[in-house]
Structure 1
Amino acid sequence: MSASSGHRSLFGEILDWMLAPLLVIWPISVALTWLVAQGIANKPYDRELGEMARTLGLQVATEPGPGDLPKGRSRYALAPEAAALLRADESDTIYYQVLGLRGELLSGDRHLAVPEREPPVVPWELHFRDDEVSNESVRVAFLWVVPEGMAGSDRMMLVQVAETLGKRSRLTNEIIKGVILPQFVILPLAVLLVWLALARGIAPLNELQRRIRSRDSSDLSPIDEHRIPDEVAPLVQAINDLLERLDQSIRAQKHFLADAAHQLKTPLAGLRTQAELAQREIDEGRSSPADLRRSLQQIALSSQRAAHMVNQLLAMARAEDQEHASRRSEVNLPTLAMETVRDFVPRAMEKRLDLGYEGPEPDHAGLRLNGHPLLIRELIRNLVDNALLYTPPGGTITVRVVEDPFGQVCVLQVEDSGPGIAESEREKVFQPFYRALGTDVDGSGLGLAIVREIVQQHEADISVDDTRARRQAEAEGQGPGARFTIRFPAHPHRD
């Protein structure tokens, strides 16, 4: 894995996690092997050493009286045959010691330490310990014996036989060599096998990477999930889900751009047509001030439509910008609603419409929204603009802010007395460039699409219904009107 790339290698990380425990366990295995080898090497030699000590103890217990001893031999000294048996080992030195009933040395080596006599002492019970004689490590077998004729006495003699550790060390080393040396061959072989196994296991990922890299940039079809490992299947499914959403987004953008180009083409074509017509009439000398004024008015109207379309497209882009929408602050909804109504009053008066506001005053210390002020202002403007477009002269438009008594939501309503929206079209009107059938209103078709996008950005919900019953409206010869209701999550006001 390259340090400069900053990327983590899955292969290297798995290999590290597999080999690191192995390298830690191996020294522990060597230490345990050494301990086990020592135990294995001690057993046969301890058995032999114990037999020597027991044989010497039997000889001491049955030692003949002073008159029966051969000439020149001290009491409790080993017979020549027994001494020859002890000295028969050429690789190790054997020591022995016999202590009397009072702890006095009767025979053998003085250098052997006397073990602690911890009650209760069981006669003829064999014990082992590690010790040193003349700075040399030895293994000692010892037991307390009761001489013949003294049964039941608590006075006993001590018999010890010690042996240096030469044979034991050699056997221990042979066992360790027999176990450890093969590991020096097995360990590199295990590392190689792990490497090959990982390379074989990672191969499907490399194949998946190759298939993805070989794709064309426009190919957003799902990745085949039948030739991938089960462990990678959730990742591939997530990628396929992302590709599907990306494909839908790209198709929507292409459709949006195509509709936008078509919508912009109409006012631009009108501009060109009116300009060419005015130019031709001027060239032919047939232009009058009235005709020229009419052409200029059409040019102004077409340019106004194009400018409005461009502004709506920019507003749509702002609404869809996740980063822009995430910059939120505390928003005073009544203030924004009143300012928007005030901005549209001249246009409403021009169309002879009654535009008003209902709700709390801007300085009302109630609930606030946690949102983006510019986007919420754009939302209210588009709803009011939509109502102004569809409400006939003499109608009424009301912008209303309703405060939830439970403090859970803030409600914004924009209602009009226009023709209303049929139930079958209430979902479609939020699609870009969609216009209700049977209407000849000159709009961009983006206003309500922008409204829905801003609503979604603020985790709110929007609903559409009639302002009044359709039967009553038809009886009065008026439209049922439309009421747009938006419920924002409330945000407690902080002074």
Structure 2
Amino acid sequence: MPDRSPSQQGSLFGEILDWMLAPLLLIWPISVALTWLVAQGIASRPYDRELGEVARGLALQSAATTPSARTKTRYALAPEAAALLRADASDTIYYQVLGLRGELLAGDAKLPVPTDDAPPVPWELHFRDDEVGIDAVRIAYLWFAPEGAAKGSPLMLVQVAETDGKRAQLTNDIIKGVILPQFVILPLAVLLVWLALARGIAPLNELQHRIRSRESNDLSPIDEARVPDEVAPLVRAINDLLARLDSSISRQKHFLADAAHQLKTPLAGLRTQAEFIQREIDAGRSSPEDLKRSLQQIARASERGAHTVNQLLSMARAEDAEQALNREPVNLADVAVETVRDFVPRALERRLDLGYEGVQPDAARLRVHGLPVLLGELVRNLVDNALLYTPAGGTVTVRVTEDPFGQVVVLQVEDSGPGIPPAERDKVFQPFYRALGTGVEGSGLGLAIVQEIVQQHEASLVLDDTRVRRVAGGELADGQGPGARFTIRFQARMASATAEPENST
């Protein structure tokens, strides 16, 4: 049977039919050959029995009538026995009687003498296939001692040979009786196999029809009770895929609805400011200061919109599972220092003390196996969130430390802002969630992106206070905010160990 590549996969019905019919068509000629061999044995058995009886009867007669060596050397077979031997019309029968010295006493001299190596046993009947001239014959022969012979004296030989015409005819009749019906049975068997297979495949066709007739938005599970047991695991796998697809589509719909709602505000602000400026210009009441203020508001609205769009793109990148194939060893300290450097101008503008502590990039011994772009996005969103919620005069610290045992790299971003109450710490990682009462504008996507990137890198994230709350009301004794501290632990490897595979390639 020809092998099919995955791109050439054909019908399951045809595949099963091929595997069922190929052994059948292979076994059929073997069955014919075995039938021929068995038919030969069946056809030879009765004729061998008859031929052996003739040989034994001839030996008994020869033992009783053997002439002495002084009278005559040959004797004639009784006319009735000779007529019996020559009576077969379909086959030629030969016989031979050899004396004590191997001399021909009666019969045909052209019959070959047996060449058995074992010593002859008196009156033990043997059969062999041989040739007489151009005729293939079946020979029955036996050794015997004449009546009155002393024990251990030489033995006489009787052979009766018969051509195989009757045997061949009976063999052909048996083969015809067995093989000819098979020419009818074989096509019938093929038809029955085809019908049985079509009946067995019918539930699959019905399942295919049910799936094809579904609406494109119907992601409900397939009924497993209406499918065969052999197909049930496949249906369960499809149902699991449909459930995950339904969940993913639902999240996407919710995400898109929230994203549209978040983009609506800055876009509405842009349109309102543009319409206001147009009305002021048309009314002749616009002044350079008013236009400047309106343009500044338009710039802020467009900046918020651009920031939201960038964070939506970051969220999409963080949720892309295919990026896991492009992971590489990353120096997390280097990523953190570079991110802090990028945010320094913004921190100075807001009068915040932004700094970095911990291991220096050139001294880092450990590497995180991950995606540099996403890890940079993670640090960027944490720092951006800290700068947004820390009041003027506060501090924001980014810290990278290494496990002395060489297995973990810890990233911390902490601030001196108002902190996050314990009741809200799980909610802040949900997309578009923002704590009430802070007065801070934002998209609510930053920490959701952080959570997604942490999960992509199989890291752990802990959110707690930067400073311990020391009074019952939750406020610090010196009037400062408790702050928020994000601690992320990454599995890491030594820099030399991560470089070896790269060098080996």
Q: What TM-score comes out, normalization by structure 2 length?
A: 0.91
Please tell me whether the aligned partners of residues 319 and 325 of structure 1 are also in contact (alpha carbons under 8 angstroms): no
Matched, 1:26 2:28: yes
* Greater mean deviation of Cα atoms: 173-182 or 366-375: 366-375
Task: Describe the shift of the 1:57–1:445 C-alpha distance in structure 2 as closer, same or farther (beyond 3 A).
Answer: same
Letter in 1 for 2:387: L
Provide the C-alpha distance between the structure 1 equivalents of 2:404 and 2:154, rounded to a whole number of angstroms: 102
* Alignment partner, residue 105 of structure 2: 106
Q: CA deviation at 1:214?
A: 1.3
What fraction of aligned residue pairs are identical, expressed as a percent?
A: 75
Q: CA deviation at 1:443?
A: 1.0
Task: Describe the shift of the 1:445–1:152 C-alpha distance in structure 2 as closer, same or farther (beyond 3 A).
Answer: same
Task: Describe the shift of the 1:380–1:43 C-alpha distance in structure 2 as closer, same or farther (beyond 3 A).
Answer: same
- Cα deviation per residue 1:204-249 (whole Å; 9 max; x = unaligned)? 1111111111111111111122211111111111111111111111
Letter in 2 for 1:294: R
Write the mapping of 1:203-222 to structure 2, written as runs, cut at 5 A: 203-222=202-221
Q: CA deviation at 1:66?
A: 4.9
Letter in 1 for 2:238: I
Provide the C-alpha distance between the structure 1 equivalents of 2:402 and 2:100, rounded to a whole number of angstroms: 108
Query: The residue matched to 1:82 in structure 2 has which SS?
Result: helix
Matched, 1:300 2:302: no
Q: CA deviation at 1:154?
A: 5.1
* Alignment partner, residue 64 of structure 2: 62
Task: Describe the shift of the 1:461–1:61 C-alpha distance in structure 2 as closer, same or farther (beyond 3 A).
Answer: farther
Provide the C-alpha distance between the structure 2 equivalents of 1:146 and 1:461, rounded to a whole number of angstroms: 106
Please tell me whether the aligned partners of residues 60 and 76 of structure 1 are also in contact (alpha carbons under 8 angstroms): no
Q: 1:49 aligns with which of 41, 45, 51?
A: 51
Provide the C-alpha distance between the structure 1 equivalents of 2:65 and 2:418, rounded to a whole number of angstroms: 134
Matched, 1:15 2:17: yes
Q: CA deviation at 1:127?
A: 1.1
Write the mapping of 1:2-151 to structure 2, written as runs, cut at 5 A: 6-66=8-68, 75-151=74-150
Query: The residue matched to 1:160 in structure 2 has which SS?
Result: strand
Q: CA deviation at 1:286?
A: 3.8
- Cα deviation per residue 1:439-486 (whole Å; 9 max; x = unaligned)? 332111111222222233333333323334333673433333322233
Please tell me whether the aligned partners of residues 386 and 415 of structure 2 are also in contact (alpha carbons under 8 angstroms): yes
Query: The residue matched to 1:201 in structure 2 has which SS?
Result: helix
* Alignment partner, residue 192 of structure 1: 191
- Cα deviation per residue 1:92-136 (whole Å; 9 max; x = unaligned)? 111112222232322222222222233343211111111111121
Letter in 2 for 1:88: A
Q: CA deviation at 1:399?
A: 1.7
Q: CA deviation at 1:325?
A: 4.9
Task: Describe the shift of the 1:461–1:162 C-alpha distance in structure 2 as closer, same or farther (beyond 3 A).
Answer: farther
Please tell me whether the aligned partners of residues 333 and 364 of structure 2 are also in contact (alpha carbons under 8 angstroms): no
Q: CA deviation at 1:434?
A: 1.2
Please tell me whether the aligned partners of residues 430 and 447 of structure 2 are also in contact (alpha carbons under 8 angstroms): yes
Provide the C-alpha distance between the structure 2 equivalents of 1:267 and 1:217, rounded to a whole number of angstroms: 35
Letter in 2 for 1:45: Y
Query: The residue matched to 1:474 in structure 2 has which SS?
Result: coil
Task: Describe the shift of the 1:76–1:446 C-alpha distance in structure 2 as closer, same or farther (beyond 3 A).
Answer: farther
* Alignment partner, residue 426 of structure 1: 425
Letter in 2 for 1:18: M
Please tell me whether the aligned partners of residues 34 and 172 of structure 1 are also in contact (alpha carbons under 8 angstroms): yes
Task: Describe the shift of the 1:340–1:54 C-alpha distance in structure 2 as closer, same or farther (beyond 3 A).
Answer: same
Please tell me whether the aligned partners of residues 366 and 493 of structure 1 are also in contact (alpha carbons under 8 angstroms): no
- Cα deviation per residue 1:179-211 (whole Å; 9 max; x = unaligned)? 111100010011111111111111111111111
Write the mapping of 1:473-484 to structure 2, written as runs, cut at 5 A: 474-476=475-477, 477-484=479-486
Q: CA deviation at 1:347?
A: 1.4
Matched, 1:494 2:488: no
Query: The residue matched to 2:149 in structure 1 has which SS?
Result: coil
Q: CA deviation at 1:404?
A: 2.8
Query: The residue matched to 2:399 in structure 1 has which SS?
Result: strand
Query: The residue matched to 2:95 in structure 1 has which SS?
Result: strand
Please tell me whether the aligned partners of residues 66 and 75 of structure 1 are also in contact (alpha carbons under 8 angstroms): no
Q: CA deviation at 1:432?
A: 1.2
Letter in 2 for 1:133: V
Q: Give me the CA root mean square deviation.
A: 2.5
Query: The residue matched to 2:105 in structure 1 has which SS?
Result: strand
Letter in 1 for 2:61: Q
Please tell me whether the aligned partners of residues 122 and 144 of structure 2 are also in contact (alpha carbons under 8 angstroms): yes
Provide the C-alpha distance between the structure 2 equivalents of 1:487 and 1:86, rounded to a whole number of angstroms: 108
Provide the C-alpha distance between the structure 2 equivalents of 1:453 and 1:347, rounded to a whole number of angstroms: 26
Query: The residue matched to 2:120 in structure 1 has which SS?
Result: coil
Query: The residue matched to 2:363 in structure 1 has which SS?
Result: coil
* Alignment partner, residue 367 of structure 1: 366
Provide the C-alpha distance between the structure 2 equivalents of 1:471 and 1:154, rounded to a whole number of angstroms: 132
Please tell me whether the aligned partners of residues 311 and 445 of structure 2 are also in contact (alpha carbons under 8 angstroms): yes
Q: What TM-score comes out, normalization by structure 1 length?
A: 0.92
Provide the C-alpha distance between the structure 1 equivalents of 2:103 and 2:138, rounded to a whole number of angstroms: 22
Letter in 2 for 1:177: K
Provide the C-alpha distance between the structure 1 equivalents of 2:11 and 2:153, rounded to a whole number of angstroms: 76
Equivalent residue pairs, number:
491
Provide the C-alpha distance between the structure 1 equivalents of 2:382 and 2:285, rounded to a whole number of angstroms: 45
Provide the C-alpha distance between the structure 1 equivalents of 2:112 and 2:364, rounded to a whole number of angstroms: 97
Provide the C-alpha distance between the structure 2 equivalents of 1:233 and 1:298, rounded to a whole number of angstroms: 61
* Alignment partner, residue 393 of structure 1: 392
Write the mapping of 1:395-414 to structure 2, written as runs, cut at 5 A: 395-414=394-413
Provide the C-alpha distance between the structure 2 equivalents of 1:66 and 1:151, rounded to a whole number of angstroms: 14
Provide the C-alpha distance between the structure 1 equivalents of 2:379 and 2:69, rounded to a whole number of angstroms: 133
- Cα deviation per residue 1:359-380 (whole Å; 9 max; x = unaligned)? 3222236222332222211111
* Greater mean deviation of Cα atoms: 173-182 or 419-428: 419-428
Q: CA deviation at 1:301?
A: 1.4
Task: Describe the shift of the 1:152–1:336 C-alpha distance in structure 2 as closer, same or farther (beyond 3 A).
Answer: same
Q: CA deviation at 1:289?
A: 4.3
Q: CA deviation at 1:288?
A: 4.3
